[in-house]
């Protein structure tokens, strides 16, 4: 058996865990607090003086106890917990978890050596209690969530987990062709003339992106992880195993090459948007004709970001929420009680009709009250439905990220070439009534 895991053992016999409030290691039994550096110094002294490795949280079995055969690389491995002697078989991607028998936190340090070791980590800033409060506030603040959801939905699991992310920084150079219009409207007698002056607009631009993230775990829903952005990477620290003690953590199983299509999709969208926002002025309408963008000087960092996952089950369906462990941002799709929503829309359309019906009669002039009443009520119902659909739109907060604006270095933007060339003029003529009743 070879030692391949760590636990941060306290002199009292307990195990240190990363404490969110103090941002240090804390023993849950004696409440002693110690920094990573202090603990490393103590552990090194203990090992030198007494030949005792206090970081040894478990031993990895080289031989499968059931088959008697040696474990092969890539197979699930079994560890023996040094606290209780229990056998632990973590998932292939797991690098930190708690012993299911004694709840001791164990860091599987052998899985995060060399290229598998993260470059940076953002420690948790929000704790379990704050997450529960945020979840309750999120659910109760939304409209037309089924009343039984809170009563029947049980938080089966609230788990703090460090999720692996790739962070891409690079330069972007590209060409953008646009069709831009200057639109003017004039009136001659009973004609309204709209003139569209078209210009062929060309920009050759440069900009840079910094620390654009993409989650690197197959178990994490990409849209869910996109939706809890942004993470402030300026607060990222050099990776140390102490930060993951007491939390679940997984290593990447999505390679950098697999993540490039996601990176480029977001950067291309932001590249074109930045070109238009920063250097295309004086036009009333802008349409993108085509663009060609190249990315260079790519650099990658491997990061661990803090995420709280809340898993609910209601009416046989799973509802998963994610909380950014650094900022507290919570996202997740809630169910909607559509019968309540439509009933409410119908009820509110009645007072709205009291306004819309007289207005319809005034606008329709010689129309009968019966006809104006029908039109007015339909308008009131449609308006009420529009308002109610807008209200329930907030129940859905998970979507894939299509832009990378937050990771664009605004000061890096520059244009090498700017060209605006008149193309053609189009006119639209509309006859308008001049009769006065």
- Residue 212 and residue 231: Cα distance in Å, rounded? 10
Q: Is pLDDT of 327 > 50?
A: yes
Summarised one tens digit per residue, pLDDT across range 64-115 is 444 444 445 555 566 666 666 556 666 667 777 777 656 666 676 666 666 6
Alpha helices in 141-255 (DSSP H): 147-152, 222-227
Under a CB-based contact definition with an 8 Å cutoff, are residues 229 and 402 in contact? no
Query: pLDDT tens digit string along 298-309?
Result: 999 999 999 999
Residue 371 binned pLDDT confidence (cut-offs 50, 70, 90): confident
Query: What is the predicted pLDDT for the residue at 62?
Result: 45
Indicate if the pLDDT at residue 419 is higher than 70: yes
Please report the pLDDT score of residue 270 as a whole number: 96
Q: Around 255, how many Cα atoms within 13 Å sit in the side-chain half-sphere?
A: 2
Q: Is 45 exposed, middle or buried (CB count within 10 Å of its CB: 0-12, 13-18, 19+)?
A: exposed
Backbone angles phi, psi at 355, to 5 degrees: -95, -40
Name the percent of the chain lying above pLDDT 90: 46
For residue 136, which phi and psi values (nearest 5 degrees)? -60, -45
Cα Rg of the chain, angstroms: 30
Task: Return the closest-CA partner of residue 98 out of 216, 248, 207.
Answer: 248
The model carries a pTM of 0.79
220: Cβ contacts below 8 Å, ≥ 6 apart: 163, 307
Mean pLDDT is lowest, of 27-36, 218-227, 288-297, for 27-36
pLDDT of residue 361: 76
Residue 224: pLDDT over 80: yes
Query: In this predicted structure, what is the pLDDT of residue 312?
Result: 86
| Percentage above 70 pLDDT, the chain | 80
pLDDT for 285 equals 96
pLDDT value of residue 53 = 47
Per-residue pLDDT, 235: 94
CA dist., res. 9 & res. 82, Å (int): 11
Identify the top-confidence range among 14-28, 146-160, 412-426.
412-426
Residue 434 has pLDDT above 60, yes or no: no
Instruction: Tell me which range, 6-10, 52-56, 335-339, is most confidently predicted by mean pLDDT.
Output: 335-339
Give me the residue spans of the domains in the chain. Answer: 2-106, 128-331, 338-393
Q: Quick check: helix, strand or coil at residue 9?
A: strand
- The pLDDT value recorded for residue 80 is 64
Decide if pLDDT at 375 tops 50: yes
Q: What is the Cα 167 distance to its own chain's centre? A: 14
Among 431, 120, 175, which residue's Cα sits nearest to residue 305? 120
* Whole-number average pLDDT of the chain: 83
Residue 240 CB burial class (10 angstroms; 0-12, 13-18, ≥19): middle
What mean pLDDT do residues 302-326 have? 92
Give the pLDDT confidence score for residue 70 in this predicted structure: 45
- Is the confidence at residue 292, as pLDDT, over 50? yes
């Amino acid at each position: 058996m070879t030692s391949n895991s760590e636990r941060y053992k306290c002199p009292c016999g307990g195990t240190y865990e990363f404490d969110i409030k103090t941002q240090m290691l804390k023993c849950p039994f004696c409440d002693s607090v110690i920094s990573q550096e202090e603990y490393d110094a103590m552990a090194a002294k203990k090992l030198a003086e007494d030949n005792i490795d206090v970081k040894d949280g478990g031993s990895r079995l080289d031989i499968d106890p059931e088959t008697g055969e040696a474990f092969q690389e890539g197979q699930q491995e079994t560890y023996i917990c040094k606290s209780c002697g229990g056998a632990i078989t973590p998932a292939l991607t797991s690098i930190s978890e708690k012993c299911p028998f004694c709840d001791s936190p164990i860091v599987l340090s052998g899985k995060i050596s060399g290229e598998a070791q993260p470059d940076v980590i953002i420690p948790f800033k929000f704790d379990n209690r704050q997450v529960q409060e945020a979840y309750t506030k999120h659910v109760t603040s939304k409209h037309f969530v089924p009343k039984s959801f809170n009563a029947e939905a049980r938080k089966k699991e609230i788990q703090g987990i460090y999720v692996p992310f790739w962070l891409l920084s690079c330069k972007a150079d590209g060409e953008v062709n646009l069709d831009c219009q200057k639109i003017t409207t004039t009136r001659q007698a009973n004609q309204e003339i709209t003139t569209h002056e078209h210009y062929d607009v060309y920009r050759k631009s440069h900009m840079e992106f910094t620390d654009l993230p993409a989650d690197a775990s197959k178990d994490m829903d990409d849209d869910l992880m996109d939706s809890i952005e942004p993470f402030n990477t300026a607060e990222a620290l050099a990776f140390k195993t102490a930060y993951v003690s007491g939390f679940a953590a997984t290593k990447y199983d999505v390679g950098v090459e697999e993540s490039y299509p996601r990176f480029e999709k977001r950067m291309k969208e932001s590249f074109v948007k930045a070109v238009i926002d920063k250097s295309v002025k004086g036009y009333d309408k802008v349409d993108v004709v085509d663009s060609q963008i190249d990315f260079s000087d790519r650099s990658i960092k491997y990061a661990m970001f803090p995420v709280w996952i809340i898993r609910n089950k209601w009416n046989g369906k799973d509802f998963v929420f994610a909380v950014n462990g650094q900022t507290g941002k919570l996202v997740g799709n809630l169910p909607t009680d559509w019968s309540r929503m439509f009933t409410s829309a119908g009820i509110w359309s009645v007072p709205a009709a009291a306004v819309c019906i007289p207005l319809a009669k005034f606008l329709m002039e010689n129309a009968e009250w019966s006809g104006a009443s029908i039109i007015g009520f339909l308008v009131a119902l449609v308006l009420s439905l529009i308002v109610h659909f807008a209200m329930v739109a907030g129940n859905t907060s998970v979507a894939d990220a299509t832009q990378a604006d937050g990771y664009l270095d605004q000061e890096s933007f520059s244009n090498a070439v700017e060209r605006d060339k008149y193309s053609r003029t189009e006119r639209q003529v509309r006859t308008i009534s001049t009769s006065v009743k």
